[in-house]
Chains A and B, each alone.
Chain A
Amino acid sequence: MPTHGLARIALWTLSIAFICENRLLAQQPSNSAGTVANSLQIAGLSRAQHSRPQAGNMLALNVHVRNSGQQLATAELVGRIKGQPGEEDRRKIEVLPGKSDIYELDLRVLPSNRQKKIEAVVTLNAIENGREVLLTRGDAPVSQSVVMDLVSDSSRTAIALDADPPEQLFWRWPRTPTYASYELVLASRIDAGLSRVCVTLDGLPLPIHLSDWQGIDVIVIGNPEVLKDSSSIGALQQFMHHGGRIWVILDKVDTSLIEPLLERNQQCQTLDVVETNHFEITIPGSIDFSAEARTIDSDKPVKLKRVVQHGGRVTHAVDGWPAAIAWPVSQGELFVTALESHGWLTPRETLTSVDSDHSSKFSLPVWGNPLALKVHEPKHDTRLVDDELQYPLAHIGNPTVPRSLVSTILAAFCAVLVLIGVWRWLAGELRWMGILAPTLALIASVPLIMVAVVQRREMFDMVSMLQILTYSSQGCGVLNEKAAVYASSSRKMELHGNADGFALPSPTIESGIRSLTTADFEKWSLSNDAWPTGTWRYSTEMALDSGNFTARGVLSNQGLTVELPSHFKFPLEDAIIGYAPGTPSIGKAMQGNRSWQIDGSLPAGGDRWTGESFLSEEQLRRAAIYQDIFNVRNPRRPPTRSLFGWTDIQGQGATWDVDLVRRGSALVSLPIELVTPEVGTDVFIPYPLIRIEQSATSSNSMYNASRAKWIEESSLDTQAIVAFSLPPEVVPLAASKIDIEWDIKAPQRRAQLYWTKGGQRIDIVNLNEPSLPWRGTIENAEVLNDLSDGWLELHVDVTNHQAKDLQSQNRFVSWRLKHLKLSVAGRTLPRSNIATLPQLGRGD
């Protein structure tokens, strides 16, 4: 082993020395480079406006290159970050004679970079006769560097607002109003405890590359022109698919422009605009602010764009009309403020900070603060799995000899040995056993030796990967590859990508120079002249724009049936449906893994993530990934309204330019859209479709809605209201029964579940010292009627009837609630009393 290790180190050292020598030779300024060297120069270098120098992110630089010569100059920009040896990013450029242009160069700041400042250096290499030549001016290479602080602020806001109003002559009266949209953004950031520093994209096309948006948590749009470019819409959809938040200020933006940002079943439509000097803000579901605090009287009328919306949550309203709306879109959110910006502003009365970066002229009124806090929350992590996933490594190497084969051979050997022994004993000639037994052992060892010989063959060079394809209901998607490569020797290879995205080699790779080269729009490669010997990792992220892959969910009296879209060609294996948070379910496969039924009988969890009884090793690996995705202890948000399943590796990913054996699987996540059942349809809504929410009137200490997690341990008496919310598609509903499953372990306690409204109380169950799951059915008409609007609140009390005070309560053993599940059967009701007409077919 030590010999092996030494040989490896020697080989690596030689390879690196060889490569470095080649590079240095290639970068020597040559005479032939004279013409280009004299004409090309880097005229400027700066950080791109949208970019954020942060460890783990891509840093975009704008490089201004000028060609003062008489002929077309072809060159490569090469960027490095000092202190990150062996990593560089390249970009091929062509500059017309006499022209100059600005090129964007993306550099990766390693996650391990802990410096306060970084220095990015860009040099220019000419390509002449296919050979790369380092351009010099005098003896120094043509290069420029820029030093910048690594940022660590918690939330970054980009703004794309309308142009400033024309400057008013200072003697004019009345004064033109302040630039309210901009002031609103600043005030909201200061009120959210952030600095006023924003990324300004005013007057610029929005960035459209995936990596451009890494450092931005929220973008505020107030300029309608931004939304007239469909490529910007595509980029914004991707941004939300990555957890980003968009805030559209409707002052100057028409709602028709935001429709492409909404999901298929969401809507926002302008009716008209009203101006008012006196109004009262209402905050649905909140009683925190007094009427006085919510009443605004302003000499300057405030405009309210009266809109009707669907699928969103009204956070603020004026006279019943939405003033602010939030829609959950894909993994992110879209906020809209329909109340004119200056209606949200009041002059700031107290200075928040002496630092000018942390102060603003205006602030939001108390009722506006929740909006500021929500909008400027850092975007959440949308990765389904961690970077250091074991899955790709598990596929590297050859399969081991199956235990079953070895045990079969050994069992057969023992059986035959016993049979021969009995035979010889009966024959009275046991001495033959001295020959027969060793012979038999030799015969049994032959297949074992043969299997071992086959298994010990040399391994192929291979790439093993987990592809994760997540699609949004808007039609965009993203492909993440977590891959590992096994190379039997150090070699030169290039990974080619043909879609918007990037590749990141593992930071632990130290051999050679890892170059991420951008050749053209959505055309990039990751290369190294000396990838290391052995196993190493890399990951990629690429945008998918292959159409809308939304799975269709149809409710019937059997439960939910989820169907793959017809144009999605790959059947999914081991499908899991995650609809309401925290209730993943195994789908009962139908139609050759193209549709699945969910009736609540196959909950997923623990080690159980497939309906099959005998699991292959691959299924065990997949189960481990599912466990990670749906783990309620995971800091990531639990997936909702999604269908997960497995396919073979798909072809959209990046490919190596050498022949590598490909192994692995693709995990696909598709959004589910529930079809609204026709009026009068009998439906069964299994518990995985029913969300558990916070009651509007009381907090619920038993259930953490953001993590979909029930209380795990408590020793205190607890009373809570648990609200159950049906999918809006089945509302209104005439419920016929509600099945309840309650699993609570509360030694020395009494657990009560009951419904109450208008002074009437209906006990559902009272359990003394419960330790086993309880199942029951509610058929009480009052309770069933209460569910007709899709919302039911049940009270849960866990009390220690023996303890007299808090101290004596604490001495008792703790209790825990594993789950409380409701499944509902009923019939859909009409949403209005207007008569309906039969639907016509096409062409009628």
Chain B
Amino acid sequence: MLCRAALIALVVCANVTCGWSEETRPMQHSWEVDPKLTEDDIWDNWERRFGGERVIDFDVADLKSASAEQRLHAARLICSEHDNRKFTQRDEAIAMLLEQLLTGKEKIQLHRAMISAAVLLCNASHAPKLWEASNEDSICRRQVERALIRWRSDVAVDVWRARCDEPSAPAGELALAIEGLAVVGGSEDRARLDRILRHSSTTLANRLLATKAMGDLISDGLNDLAQEVLDSNLEQRHLLAANLIAKHRGARTLPQCNAIMASDSSSAQRIAYRTIIDNFPSRAREIVASMSKHSDNLLRMMSLEVLRDVTDEPSLRIQGELMKDRNPEVCKLATQLVFEKSATQRSIVDDLITENLDCQVWQGVEQAILLATQLKDHSRLPKFLRLLDHPSPDVSIHAGWALMELANEPEILAGILAHAQVLTGVAEQTGLVVDYDEMRLSFLLESLGKNLYEPATSMLLKYVPKNFKFGIVSRASAVWSLGKLNKAKDNPKLRADLESRVAETSGLPPEHDLIRYTSMLAIGEMAHADCLDTAEKFNVDLPAPMGYACQWAIKQIKAASSRQAAIHANGKHGIQVGR
């Protein structure tokens, strides 16, 4: 678990510090961020519009109702809603539950519901009372014991010790006792845990727990036992031994870890490699190449962790190789680590990008595109153009997105237009553009608008009328691009078309909200005073995206009108003001 926690932290850290600017997130459409309408992400808010926590529709006072049915109902609802932020009567509920549990004599199912509710609400300070209330029922006792372990409470430590000394204790209850001792026990528990490990009738799960508990409690002196385990015929002996020496640093530990690494148990190897990374870093480096090729995803992640601060070429090549990894977490982390080294090892990084862009594994190509885009490497644009035809949708879409982010030269834009025209032609004829083609096309259309590429106008205009052969996303991108191409221009025909898109709320079907949204953005870009009524008429309350778009458009139109008025006024006074 420790390995996992460390690596999760690493991945989270990588995701947070991955170098993407605030405005640029991979695979984000231009119309999501341009114009920036608010500090919040309106799309994330919109995505969650149907979510949210449930309304709390009960009163904790029902826990004291004369009706057992109502008491049960309230207790069970607390179990369901214990983590609901709208549930504010926590303290009252805890007080009532503890009072009922310690003074009342409820029927067993009601008692269980109350215990569960209390466990889910309480904390370690309530442990003694809960332990007292739960003792008569095995289901309740298990739940409370699990909570005691979580709270690291020693209320039940004597019971756990007694249970560990009882050879015929049921396997599940013994497991709880061992886990309990692992958090509140001490070195004095070593003998009883050792006995459990060796007892003939101990289950494999309990042997593993016992070794883990010993490994957690004792950080030195278990090498002899670990060796005895390694030499035995116990099932999962490598894993048992790895648990025992997980925190050991002594000289005998490394050979034992090496023996475990030579086994075929990847669970054991995970623990042993963590021990090696923490305590024997040079050995960790020695075997990093083999770990980077391991079939276990976590071991590959751990190899990246070892290489995090290493900048020599062989290490960098290992990381570059892991950019092709089929596991998304591994390849993302590898890409991030390579990016971090680009400042000092740019030529090697460029080599890695080239290699990966030409590789057969689509994950490698995708990561190379992301890395090149992150590095703003315009020299890759011709390659990206070719990758638009890559058989993997993930690659071709990423190439489209990268072109949208980086393309700024006429030759490239011409290539983009050509590709977009082919897709548009297919859509016009068959209407069968699949979703990944449409996704790629939408990024390409945005790149044309973003670069004010006039030759694209006639093609873009085809997307404005409601046409079911075109997808919604590509239409939205085309409309957004038209807005950019017609910024502050008077184009009555386009204006009228866009206004009709915004106004079509009762057709069969009505115009899609996303098209209405981008049409309003385009109207805002054009900023013609005649459109003010439309913008005001269709303004809606926030946080609806249409509300943001209308308010922004109104602001643009009013600003343009002010400028016009100023020009007009200045004109009267003989002053010429250029736009």
Determine which of B47, B168, B201 lies in contact with A166 in the assembled complex, contact meaning CB atoms within 8 Å: B47
Contact yes or no, A173 B439, CB < 8 A: yes
Q: How far is the CA of A34 from the CA of B501 in the complex (A)?
A: 59
Minimum distance in angstroms from B71 CB to a CB of chain A = 8
- Neighbouring B residues of A301 by C-beta, 8 Å: 297, 326-328
| Residue of A299, A521, A836 contacting most chain B CB atoms (<10 Å) | A521
- Neighbouring A residues of B266 by C-beta, 8 Å: 274
- Neighbouring B residues of A171 by C-beta, 8 Å: 29, 439, 442, 472-473, 476, 514
Determine which of A173, A729, A834 lies in contact with B198 in the assembled complex, contact meaning CB atoms within 8 Å: A834
| Residue of A275, A277, A833, A844 contacting most chain B CB atoms (<10 Å) | A275
- The residue on B at minimum CB distance from A836 is B198
Q: How far is the CA of A266 from the CA of B47 in the complex (A)?
A: 44
Q: How far is the CA of A840 from the CA of B328 in the complex (A)?
A: 51
Contact yes or no, A276 B172, CB < 8 A: no
The stretch among A282-290, A450-458, A601-609, A674-682 that forms the contact with chain B is A674-682
Interface residues in B, total, Cβ within 8 A: 90
- The residue on A at minimum CB distance from B171 is A267
Contact yes or no, B68 A309, CB < 8 A: no
- Neighbouring A residues of B165 by C-beta, 8 Å: 839-842, 844
Which B residues from 416 to 452 make CB contacts under 8 A with A? 436, 439, 442
Q: How far is the CA of A729 from the CA of B167 in the complex (A)?
A: 14
Q: Given contacts A230-B113, A231-B112, is CB(A839)–CB(B236) below 8 Å?
A: no
A522 within 8 A of B: yes
- Neighbouring A residues of B468 by C-beta, 8 Å: none
A548 within 8 A of B: yes
- Neighbouring B residues of A678 by C-beta, 8 Å: 200
Minimum distance in angstroms from A62 CB to a CB of chain B = 13
Contact yes or no, A230 B140, CB < 8 A: yes
Which B residues from 90 to 128 make CB contacts under 8 A with A? 107-110, 112-113, 115-116, 120
Contact yes or no, A309 B140, CB < 8 A: no
Q: How far is the CA of A619 from the CA of B269 in the complex (A)?
A: 64
Contact yes or no, A679 B200, CB < 8 A: yes
Determine which of B54, B194, B200, B329 lies in contact with A676 in the assembled complex, contact meaning CB atoms within 8 Å: B200
Contact yes or no, A167 B233, CB < 8 A: no
Contact yes or no, B139 A233, CB < 8 A: yes
Contact with B along A544-574 (1 / 0, CB 8 A): 0100100000000000000000000000000
Q: How far is the CA of A338 from the CA of B289 in the complex (A)?
A: 30
- The residue on A at minimum CB distance from B268 is A271
Minimum distance in angstroms from A270 CB to a CB of chain B = 9
A835 within 8 A of B: yes
Contact yes or no, B116 A231, CB < 8 A: yes
A172 within 8 A of B: yes
Contact yes or no, B68 A523, CB < 8 A: yes
Which B residues from 215 to 239 make CB contacts under 8 A with A? 228-229, 232-236, 239
A269 within 8 A of B: yes
Total residue contacts A-B, CB cutoff 8 A:
206
Determine which of A172, A208, A266, A836 lies in contact with B200 in the assembled complex, contact meaning CB atoms within 8 Å: A836
- Neighbouring A residues of B385 by C-beta, 8 Å: none
Determine which of A94, A166, A269, A276 lies in contact with B48 in the assembled complex, contact meaning CB atoms within 8 Å: A166
Minimum distance in angstroms from B336 CB to a CB of chain A = 18
Which A residues from 9 to 48 make CB contacts under 8 A with B? none
Contact yes or no, A834 B139, CB < 8 A: no
- Neighbouring A residues of B140 by C-beta, 8 Å: 230
| Residue of B54, B194, B297 contacting most chain A CB atoms (<10 Å) | B297
Determine which of A173, A272, A475 lies in contact with B27 in the assembled complex, contact meaning CB atoms within 8 Å: A173
Determine which of A228, A272, A521, A676 lies in contact with B120 in the assembled complex, contact meaning CB atoms within 8 Å: A228
Q: Given contacts A166-B47, A308-B236, is CB(A234)–CB(B171) below 8 Å?
A: no
Determine which of B162, B173, B199, B208 lies in contact with A308 in the assembled complex, contact meaning CB atoms within 8 Å: B208
Determine which of A262, A273, A277, A675 lies in contact with B327 in the assembled complex, contact meaning CB atoms within 8 Å: A277
Contact yes or no, B50 A167, CB < 8 A: yes
**Interface of B: prevailing SS:** helix
Contact yes or no, A271 B267, CB < 8 A: yes
Contact yes or no, B239 A834, CB < 8 A: no
Q: Given contacts A170-B473, A229-B76, A277-B327, is CB(A264)–CB(B68) below 8 Å?
A: no
Contact yes or no, A310 B203, CB < 8 A: yes
Which B residues from 509 to 565 make CB contacts under 8 A with A? 514
A140 within 8 A of B: no
B332 within 8 A of A: no
Q: Given contacts A167-B47, A265-B170, is CB(A833)–CB(B68) below 8 Å?
A: no
Q: How far is the CA of A128 from the CA of B267 in the complex (A)?
A: 70
Q: How far is the CA of A474 from the CA of B146 in the complex (A)?
A: 18
Minimum distance in angstroms from A833 CB to a CB of chain B = 5
Contact yes or no, B113 A229, CB < 8 A: yes
Minimum distance in angstroms from B333 CB to a CB of chain A = 13
Determine which of B4, B112, B120, B472 lies in contact with A233 in the assembled complex, contact meaning CB atoms within 8 Å: B112
A256 within 8 A of B: yes
B409 within 8 A of A: no
Which B residues from 3 to 51 make CB contacts under 8 A with A? 4, 27, 29, 43, 46-48, 50-51
Contact yes or no, B27 A172, CB < 8 A: yes
Q: Given contacts A174-B394, A274-B297, A521-B68, is CB(A675)–CB(B168) below 8 Å?
A: yes
A268 within 8 A of B: yes
B484 within 8 A of A: no
- Neighbouring A residues of B191 by C-beta, 8 Å: 837, 840
Q: Given contacts A233-B112, A269-B205, is CB(A276)–CB(B267) below 8 Å?
A: no
- The residue on A at minimum CB distance from B80 is A205
Determine which of A299, A548, A830, A831 lies in contact with B326 in the assembled complex, contact meaning CB atoms within 8 Å: A299
Contact with B along A211-234 (1 / 0, CB 8 A): 000000000000001001111011
- Neighbouring A residues of B472 by C-beta, 8 Å: 170-171
B356 within 8 A of A: no
- The residue on B at minimum CB distance from A91 is B69
Determine which of A259, A276, A500, A830 lies in contact with B109 in the assembled complex, contact meaning CB atoms within 8 Å: A500
Minimum distance in angstroms from A241 CB to a CB of chain B = 14
- The residue on A at minimum CB distance from B112 is A230
A-B CB proximity, top 4 nearest: A230-B112, A264-B170, A269-B205, A521-B68
| 7 CB-based A-B contacts, threshold 8 Å | A171-B472, A205-B76, A272-B298, A521-B68, A833-B233, A836-B200, A842-B166
Q: Which residues of A contact B (CB under 8 A)?
A: 94, 166-174, 203-205, 208, 225, 228-231, 233-235, 237, 256, 259-260, 262, 264-269, 271-277, 299, 301, 306, 308-311, 474-475, 499-500, 520-523, 545, 548, 675-676, 678-679, 729, 830-837, 839-844
Given contacts A265-B171, A833-B232, A834-B198, 4 further A-B contacts (CB under 8 A): A171-B442, A231-B109, A231-B110, A545-B109
